Amino acid sequence: MEALRQRRAVVIGGGLGGLATAVRLAARGWRVEVFEQGPRLGGKMNTFEREGFRFDTGPSLITMPWVFEELFEAAGSSLSRHVRLTQVSPLADYVYADGTRFTYTTSLPEWLETVKQLEPRDREGFMKFMRLGARLFALSRETFLRRAPLEPPDLRSLGALRQFPLRHAWGSYHSTVAAHFRSPHLRQMFERYPTYVGSSPYRTPATFAVIPYIEYAYGGWHVEGGLYRIVESLIDLARDLGVSLHTSARVSAIEHEGRRARGVTLADGTKLQADVVVMNGDAALTDEMLGGGNGNGLRSQSERSLSGFVMLLGVKRKLEGLAHHTVYFAEDYRREFSQLFDERRFPEDPTVYVCAPSRTDPCVAPEGCETLFVMANAPSVESPWDERQTEEAKAGVFGRLSKGGFPDVARETVVSDVWTPGRFARDYVSPGGAIYGTHSHGWRRAFLRPPNRHARVGGLYHVGGSSHPGGGTPTVLLSAKITTELIERHER
């Protein structure tokens, strides 16, 4: 009869990775319980609603939509039954400190004409850069994005690794961009992509050329009603599959006997047994939850990824001419990253990203209004910002927007919600407010993130942006797939 006992999994954290893992395990017959310390599931992929405005508080677009489709199919459903995706076109507008402005369109002929106007020789450079990204993506799909680190490789992975261009693994992303583009505007534009994983373009390996390739080749997508609709759909799937979902339920400890996880203890003292425990919180917290002595402890500030300074603004008028995505670049990009990572302070002149989903989706704002997500990169912190630091960050952001021609919306802003690194740290239990766990500076940090299967404690697994293969919504879903497959392989 023991052989017929339903295996039990406890997932710590109800973020995107935790929900996806719960759905996959439940679809394979596991009894799954998810414990989320916050009041709402979704983790950093969350939502804020007020006075008819609906904001995504985390990711503002998705890429690689087939990864989402595969997850829903694994649960016996389909993505299209739950959400409607719209490809955002153009991809973005870019605004520079010298007044240059252009549109990054998904039409290759139109885009190459824009490139020609900036620097004719860069048309070929762009095509070469995309070919490099395509090759890296093809190889990573067989290796990095498919398998856990340190697990024995299969023949497909070994074959792909033999073709891997080592100079692109060890070389600098900044140098690779510079080798393909002469235009300073195009260089700055493509150097922004490592910030998608909370890192500096001057310190990441050239393999990150895969990110702009994926976005251009497969598009950036908006979810009608906001990206949180994906979380809501996963919640529905999980419940249909029998997953027990708990909110405002903090796990205080991972119980283990020797080198084997046995369950968890909740903050209220409740103890729960489990065959496996999946950690969807920041991987740096695992050692603390084990009681110490089973890992390397909390990472130092120098290892953490970027945090963010975010303003969610509901504006009671339409902003004509505003794109769905717009980037307002700082004048000195290298100095900005030096202040972020070396001086550990908010930049004097920040690059500012504005997402206006209401330009594409009328469901997210009242009629005649705009929903704005305004973000600048910020360093992770040791202590929360005080009011002065927050006001200085606001002034820096609005100063850059004003210089870029963004209208003054102060008097027409009827909803405002501000996120600082300290709030990210508090609400998401992310050390220092680091959004992506560790940064991806250097080969080791980029490719040897905390493994999906704990190296020392059996039955303990990691999933999410702080573990392999890294941050970003599709990558987190791939992390869930890898973790589920490891559990099925090692826990039978």
Whole-number pLDDT of residue 437: 83
**Final residue belonging to a domain, choices 171, 196, 220:** 220
Rounded distance between C-alpha atoms, residue 11 and residue 34, angstroms: 5
Q: Are strands 251-257 and 244-246 parallel, antiparallel or unpaired?
A: unpaired
Rounded distance between C-alpha atoms, residue 24 and residue 303, angstroms: 31
- Would residue 83 count as lying in a domain? no
- Would residue 164 count as lying in a domain? yes
**Final residue belonging to a domain, choices 161, 192, 220:** 220
Residues 240 and 190 in one domain: no
Residues 261 and 204 in one domain: no
Rounded distance between C-alpha atoms, residue 324 and residue 328, angstroms: 13
Q: What is the enclosing helix (H) or strand (E) of 376?
A: strand 370-378
CATH number, residue 275 = 3.50.50.60
- Would residue 151 count as lying in a domain? yes
Answer whether the bond into residue 384 is a cis peptide, omega within 30°: no
Residues 113 and 175 in one domain: yes
- Would residue 396 count as lying in a domain? no
pLDDT by residue for the chain (492 residues), tens digit each?
445 678 999 999 999 999 999 999 999 999 999 999 999 999 999 999 999 999 999 999 999 999 999 999 999 999 999 999 999 999 999 999 999 999 999 999 999 999 999 999 999 999 999 999 999 998 877 665 666 655 554 445 444 545 555 555 568 999 999 999 999 999 999 999 999 999 999 999 999 999 999 999 999 999 999 999 999 999 999 999 999 999 999 999 999 998 999 999 999 999 999 999 999 988 889 988 998 744 444 456 668 899 999 999 999 999 999 999 999 999 999 999 999 999 999 999 999 999 999 999 999 999 999 999 999 999 999 889 999 999 999 999 999 999 999 999 999 999 999 999 999 999 999 989 999 888 888 766 666 678 899 989 999 999 998 888 888 899 999 999 999 999 999 997
Write out pLDDT tens, residues 286-337. Answer: 988 998 744 444 456 668 899 999 999 999 999 999 999 999 999 999 999 9
Rounded distance between C-alpha atoms, residue 205 and residue 203, angstroms: 7
Please name the residues in contact with 196: beta carbons below 8 A apart, sequence gap of 6 or more. 211, 471, 472
Residues 465 and 486 in one domain: yes
DSSP state of 82: T
Residue 429 gets the label, from left (phi > 0), alpha (psi -120 to 50) or beta, of left
Residues 208 and 155 in one domain: yes
φ, ψ dihedrals at 210, nearest 5°: -70, -30
Residues 131 and 208 in one domain: yes
CB distance 12 to 279 below 8 Å: yes
Residues 206 and 117 in one domain: yes
Whole-number pLDDT of residue 148: 61
Nearest to 340 by CA among 401, 447, 421: 421
The amino acid present at 443, given as its one-letter code, is W
Instruction: Spell out the SS3 assignment of 149-193.
Output: CCCCCCHHHHHHHHCCCHHHHHCEHHHHHHHHCCCHHHHHHHHCH
Write out pLDDT tens, residues 35-51. Answer: 999 999 999 999 999 99
First vs last C-alpha separation in the chain: 15
- Domain span holding position 253: 2-45+227-300+442-490
**Final residue belonging to a domain, choices 192, 220, 248:** 220
What are the residues facing 42 on neighbouring strands? 15
Residues 154 and 191 in one domain: yes
Residues 246 and 289 in one domain: yes
Whole-number pLDDT of residue 114: 98
Extract the runs of DSSP E, i.e. beta strands, from 42-112.
47-50, 53-56, 85-87, 92-95, 101-104
Residues 136 and 208 in one domain: yes
Q: Where are the alpha helices (DSSP H) in 313-420?
A: 333-341, 387-403
Percentages of the chain per state (helix, strand, coil), in multiples of 5? 40, 20, 40
Residues 196 and 133 in one domain: yes
